[in-house]
Amino acid sequence: MDRRTLLKSSGLLLGGLTFGNLATGVARASQDHQTASTAKILPTPTKDQPLLLNFNENSLGMSPKAQQAVVNALPQAFRYPDAAREQLIEKIAESHKLQSKNISLGNGSSESIQAVVQMAIYQAQKAGQKVQVIVPDPTFNYAELYAKALGVAVIKVPLNDKLAFDIEAMKKVANEFPGLSIVYLCNPNNPTATITPADQIDPWIKAASERTLFLLDEAYAEFVTDPRFQSGIELVLKQHKNVVVTRTFSKIYALAGLRIGYAVAHEEIIAQVEDFISLDNTNAAGAVAALASLDDKTFLTISKTSVETARKIVTNALDELGLEYLPSQANFIFHKVPGEVKTYQDRMKEYHVFVGREFPPAKGWNRLTLGTPEEMTTFVSILKEFRSKGWI
């Protein structure tokens, strides 16, 4: 079930939680982190202002400089955003020590993933090749959904007993296939929040034949502190043509509602991807907010620190309660829930807290988004109340 379907089923899309509520919360969060001396008041979840810990959004809200950039851009919003779009592409390329021809902007990284999958399928079918998509299971499912819509087989390779990617099993599936394999790897993985070290991925990419294209989804890469992680962008810098990396401004930069993402690859691959990208996929507000975010290094540090602090608050509580969890390198935590996850979800909803769903085949695990430290302090108090009631 995708995010939009979940929102509809929970009644939040057009119901009690309005955009005005969200905007107020974002503004309040921004004001809080601008002034260190601001008194922190723990939030009390209500029906109209629930605690949203289910979609991996950044509750801190966007950079104040990004907000101001949007406000400043509004008088010119009747103009097409071509100039801002080109400037953003150049800025992203510069930040990765690449050229503009290595970057393709998307309407969120979801459009970039869609374009890469469609491009690769088209190229394979045009050449008379069979094509398949290989994905770990569970993982973020957009590559799978886009491939299935085109009638392409999706091969799901279960995570190993440590809930990590089974690289050897995926490699075997690719090697035995007489056609093109699109290998989708979300790193850090969603929903587990764990990384796959570079020494497990890079050798495969470097040794793979032209019959394998790697799509590396790095939506949460900016949160990673584990030195074993290395971005696939390093392989692009070394001119590898069989890898595409997607990134987003939705997570670390808190621009989920403005839909800015991008793909990074060899210029020949990007040229092919661009054929499957909407010509007018970037709005003026998103472009200027992304530009301002890239320039606001202070906010980037605050955003990382907020997540790290929130993570520690939660892991301390999970340790105290004896609940198992995986080592998180993202803005969410994958943790065990005694009993049925659906029952746990429903009980949290009664407290106006929305937590993630179960991700089969990883039974008994729940994905918890890390909100602000204040939000997670409130969550922990509710979690401990659940323990006192014998629910967890």
Mean pLDDT of 262-269: 98
- Write down the pLDDT at residue 355: 98
What CA–CA distance (Å, rounded) separates 379 from 385? Answer: 10
pLDDT in tens, 29-63: 444 444 443 346 888 999 999 999 999 999 999 99
- Write down the pLDDT at residue 1: 55
Q: Is the pLDDT of residue 107 over 70?
A: yes
- Write down the pLDDT at residue 33: 44
Two structure tokens written together for 233: 């962008």
For the domain spanning 3-62+297-388, the CATH number is 3.90.1150.10
Q: Is the pLDDT of residue 15 over 90?
A: no
pLDDT band at 115 (very low <50, low <70, confident <90, very high): very high
The residue behind tokens 């692009």 is: 236
Mean pLDDT score of the chain, rounded to an integer? 92
* CA 310 from centroid of its chain's CA atoms: 18
- Write down the pLDDT at residue 88: 98
Q: DSSP 3-state assignment of 118?
A: helix
Q: DSSP 3-state assignment of 389?
A: coil
Q: Taking the complete model, does pTM exceed 0.85, yes or no?
A: yes
Closest residue by Cα to residue 281 from 137, 66, 106, 65? 106
CA 303-305-306 angle, to 5 degrees, is 65
Helix (H) or strand (E) holding 248: strand 243-248
CB 306 within 8 A of CB 60: yes
pLDDT in tens, 152-163: 999 999 999 999
Q: DSSP 3-state assignment of 163?
A: coil
pLDDT band at 3 (very low <50, low <70, confident <90, very high): low
Mean pLDDT of 371-377: 98
Q: What are phi and psi of 214, to 5 degrees?
A: -100, 125
pLDDT in tens, 169-188: 999 999 999 999 999 999 99
CB 303 within 8 A of CB 60: yes
Closest residue by Cα to residue 300 from 383, 375, 222, 208? 222
Q: Is the pLDDT of residue 23 over 50?
A: no
- Write down the pLDDT at residue 21: 42
Sequence ranges of the domains in the chain? 3-62+297-388, 68-295
pLDDT in tens, 301-347: 999 999 999 999 999 999 999 999 999 999 999 999 999 999 999 99
- Write down the pLDDT at residue 235: 98
Mean pLDDT of 240-261: 98
Q: Is the pLDDT of residue 139 over 80?
A: yes
Q: DSSP 3-state assignment of 310?
A: helix
- Write down the pLDDT at residue 41: 80
Fold of 68-295: Aspartate Aminotransferase; domain 2 (3.40.640)
- Write down the pLDDT at residue 40: 63
